[in-house]
């Protein structure tokens, strides 16, 4: 690698500075920046100020930017106009700690502990997202300490409301679009594949939520007096739900698969090389047989194929004992995970038309939407992606892979839709980090090698972005 003469002393600096870097992370973790609880407003501001001071210590022009909620932290470093320009996004807020009694130690008194597979950093925010955020900051610190400058121009963008729905994020991005626009965005809120393989997430499924309530009679009815003669909304609801999938596991809403493309051959080959054990994947939750589309692998089902799932059903009498009643109404909550090419708003209309078409006489339906966000698909044709994949592969034993994510990370889509730039999602969390749960942790290996990884990525992007 051409950048090795510059990179090698940076990696050595990261190694020798690990103890001090860990101490800085523990300092940040001691601040209980719980964004969803108004009682911690001052602590969220304290965390934002801590980050501003830390970025300023690197020579960045950093400051707090007020929002209607918790503040954003914005920093800029690097003046050379011909250098690539990257934006790094992370969030400094954390989840609440309840139930407190399930923690083995105080959640905001973090410490390094010895775990079954090595040292871990224990405490709220260790993995989500303070530990991940600081891997990047520490990589920048090492570059600056060794060379007095960074290989790229960098914009730091730290949010304080990610764990509470990000209500201020989109307005802020729109109002500051010109300042935030760079060559590419880097997001650190992801993980290693199966806790060992470095990965760049390039596919994030979208989400469409629908709640339907079917009403029949104008009151609950005695099943002895009216059963057989009166329509039962639960029966109608059950028929609607049963109609949403065919025998092959495909979703039957008209036009549902329009616009979906097959997985590119090179990505399919990378996924095959991951040797994912779907039997173990299902076995860990007491299952044995994939239940989605026939002919698709489990990784395809959770990363690159859309879904339709019933998340809850209510209707009639559900208390103790038995009550022979025909309910006046029955409801279901149904979610759709969407992939590239699908329009959530068009699919909402198609779903509602499908349900309405199945209503028998004397029944009506009420719909309530619960969000509609499209999938995000990153173009790996951007040379920055392959440069970063090579950099990650140089640091870890396994070759880095492009992977998908079954969940949704809206910020990646916002970078594309609002700022018109691609995002790379690179993180070093592990499957057992217990984010959002008691006893959250971040492996010291993830923190150390994650920092080294970002140093490598910056070197690679400086040549390729």
Single out the residue in 373, 398, 424 at which a domain terminates.
373
Are residues 442 and 333 part of one domain? no
Helix pair angle (444-464, 383-395), 10° resolution: 140
Q: Is residue 273 part of a domain?
A: no
With beta carbons less than 8 A apart as the criterion, state whether 184 and 424 touch.
Answer: yes
Q: Is residue 225 part of a domain?
A: yes
Question: What pLDDT is recorded for position 4?
Answer: 73
Pairing relation of β-strands 401-405 and 111-115?
Answer: unpaired
pLDDT tens string for the chain (465 positions)? Answer: 445 789 999 999 999 999 999 999 999 999 999 999 999 999 999 999 999 999 999 999 999 999 999 999 999 999 777 889 999 999 999 999 999 999 999 999 999 999 888 999 999 999 999 999 999 999 999 999 999 999 999 999 999 999 999 999 999 999 999 999 999 999 998 999 999 999 999 999 999 999 999 999 999 999 999 999 999 999 999 999 999 999 999 999 999 999 999 999 999 999 999 999 999 999 999 999 999 999 999 999 999 999 999 999 999 999 999 999 999 999 999 999 999 999 999 999 999 999 999 999 999 999 999 989 899 899 899 999 999 999 999 999 999 999 999 887 889 989 999 999 999 999 999 999 999 999 999 999 999 999 999 999 999 999 854
Are residues 237 and 175 part of one domain? no
Question: What pLDDT is recorded for position 2?
Answer: 42
Claim: this prediction has a pTM higher than 0.95:
no
Helix%, strand%, coil% for the chain, nearest 5: 35, 25, 40
Single out the residue in 373, 398, 418 at which a domain terminates.
373
Cα atoms in the Cβ-side hemisphere of radius 13 Å centred on 315: 23
Question: What pLDDT is recorded for position 247?
Answer: 96
Residue with tokens 């499209």: 374
With beta carbons less than 8 A apart as the criterion, state whether 453 and 72 touch.
Answer: no
Q: Is residue 396 part of a domain?
A: yes
Q: Is 66 exposed, middle or buried (0-12, 13-18, 19+ CB in 10 A)?
A: exposed
349's tokens: 């209309």
Are residues 392 and 442 part of one domain? yes
Are residues 29 and 122 part of one domain? yes
Q: Is residue 282 part of a domain?
A: no
CATH of the domain at 400: 3.40.630.10
Give just the sign of the alpha carbon dihedral 158, 162, 168, 172: positive
Q: Of 417, 404, 418, 422, which Cα lies nearest the Cα of 465? A: 422
Are residues 210 and 185 part of one domain? no
Are residues 348 and 252 part of one domain? yes
Tally of domains in the chain:
2
CATH of the domain at 330: 3.30.70.360
Residue 255 neighbours by CB under 8 Å, 6+ apart: 346, 347, 350
Structural domain containing residue 250: 206-260+306-373
Are residues 24 and 87 part of one domain? yes
Single out the residue in 373, 395, 423 at which a domain terminates.
373
Are residues 36 and 123 part of one domain? yes
Give the distance, in angstroms, between the CA of residue 313 and the centroid of all CA atoms in the same chain: 27
Are residues 136 and 105 part of one domain? yes
């Amino acid at each position: 690698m051409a950048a090795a003469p510059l990179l090698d002393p940076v990696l050595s600096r990261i190694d020798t500075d690990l103890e001090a870097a860990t101490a800085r992370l523990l300092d940040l973790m001691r601040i209980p920046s719980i964004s969803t609880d108004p009682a911690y407003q001052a602590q969220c501001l304290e965390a934002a100020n801590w980050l501003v001071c830390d970025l300023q210590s690197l020579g960045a022009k950093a400051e707090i930017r007020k929002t209607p909620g918790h503040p954003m932290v914005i920093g800029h470093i690097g003046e050379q106009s011909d250098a690539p320009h990257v934006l790094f996004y992370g969030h400094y807020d954390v989840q609440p700690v309840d139930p407190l009694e399930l923690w083995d130690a105080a959640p905001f008194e973090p410490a390094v502990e010895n775990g079954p597979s090595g040292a871990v950093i224990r405490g709220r925010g260790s993995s989500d997202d303070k530990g991940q955020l600081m891997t990047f900051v520490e990589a920048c610190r090492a570059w600056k300490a060794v060379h007095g400058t960074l290989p790229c121009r960098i914009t730091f963008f730290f949010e304080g409301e990610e764990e509470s729905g990000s209500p201020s994020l989109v307005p802020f991005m729109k109002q500051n679009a010109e300042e935030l626009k760079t060559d590419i965005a880097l997001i650190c809120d992801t993980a290693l594949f199966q806790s060992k393989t470095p990965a760049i997430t390039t596919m994030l499924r979208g989400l469409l939520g629908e709640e339907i309530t079917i009403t029949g009679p104008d009151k609950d009815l005695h099943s002895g007096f009216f059963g057989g003669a009166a329509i039962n909304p639960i029966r109608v609801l059950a028929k609607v739900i049963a109609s949403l999938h065919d025998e092959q596991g495909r979703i039957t809403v008209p036009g549902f698969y329009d616009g979906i493309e097959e997985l590119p051959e090179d990505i399919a080959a990378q996924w095959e090389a991951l040797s994912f054990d779907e039997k173990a994947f299902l076995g860990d939750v007491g299952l044995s047989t994939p239940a989605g589309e026939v002919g698709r692998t489990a990784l395809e089902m959770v990363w690159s194929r859309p879904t339709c799932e019933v998340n809850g059903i209510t209707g009639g009498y559900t208390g103790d004992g038995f009550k022979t009643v025909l309910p006046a109404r029955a409801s279901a909550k149904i979610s759709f995970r969407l992939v590239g090419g699908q329009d959530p708003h068009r699919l909402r209309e198609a779903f509602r038309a499908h349900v309405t078409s199945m209503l028998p006489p004397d029944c009506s339906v009420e719909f309530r939407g619960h969000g509609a966000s499209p999938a995000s698909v990153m173009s790996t044709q951007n040379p920055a992606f392959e440069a970063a994949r090579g950099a990650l592969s140089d640091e870890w034993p396994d070759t880095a892979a492009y992977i998908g994510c079954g969940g949704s990370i809206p910020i990646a889509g916002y970078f594309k839709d609002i700022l018109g730039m691609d995002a790379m999602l690179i993180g070093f969390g592990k499957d057992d980090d217990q984010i959002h749960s008691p006893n959250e942790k971040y492996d010291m290996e993830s923190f150390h090698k994650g920092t080294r990884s970002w140093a490598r990525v910056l070197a690679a992007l400086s040549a390729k972005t």
